[in-house]
Structure 1
Amino acid sequence: MNIEGAMHRGVDWASADTPVSEIARMMKTDDIGAVPVGKDDRLVGMITDRDIVLRVVAEGRDPHKVTAGDAMTPGIVYCRTHQSVEDAIHLMEQKQIRRLPVLDARKRMVGMLSLGDISHAVSRNLAGEAIHAVADHHA
């Protein structure tokens, strides 16, 4: 199965200058744990609920003043619509990440692929292997 058939569509992204407090509200409203971050119409990173906790809350920083660009994980790991779900699983395993933005042939974000999406798209064995590899304990 290709990624386009497994991903979920309708993904929003936030500007790099969006306050973290607004990102947290987006996460709560949409029941999500990660928001892609863009600057000048390009994806530049991803901000996760973990980023907010570790880089803002734990450091006592003001979430109304800290921006997505300040708290995000820089760089973007993504997959393409035409790739196979197995390709995405290998990338997730390699990079130890649970969500991938999905880009089309024009390099435009058209969706997001999560471990949950994968669990519905592939065999139970393959999904279990992916979850085990990505969720492996940190040493």
Structure 2
Amino acid sequence: MNYEEFNQFCRSFPATTYIIQWGNCHVWKVDGKVFAIGGWSDNQSPAFTFKASEQNFVFLSESEGYKPAPYFANRGMKWIQQFNNTNKEDLQYYLKESYRLVSLGLTKKRQKELGLNQEVSAL
């Protein structure tokens, strides 16, 4: 995945905003809270940073092509950086999960206002 594809994918989520910050990084937010970052590569290859569940954080921390995210993980946050452009579908899954985790951190009222995490129950 390149940065153009990354931005296109993140743009598909509801109630997101995009900004360039932190040294030309592509930063995606939901209601002002970061859920994905494209940038911070040690070389010219794209790198992608996202929030992870506890289980995914442990798993990915030990997986090739992933590492605890600089600046986030050393503060105790469960963020991962993909630095080796591996499987595009895997990255999309983790970006979607990051969006979900961050949006679930919003108040229920705010989630409803933004139309997020609304489950439709069968009657």
Q: Name the one with the larger helix percent.
A: 1
Structure number with the bigger relative contact order (C-alpha 8 A, sep ≥ 6) is 1
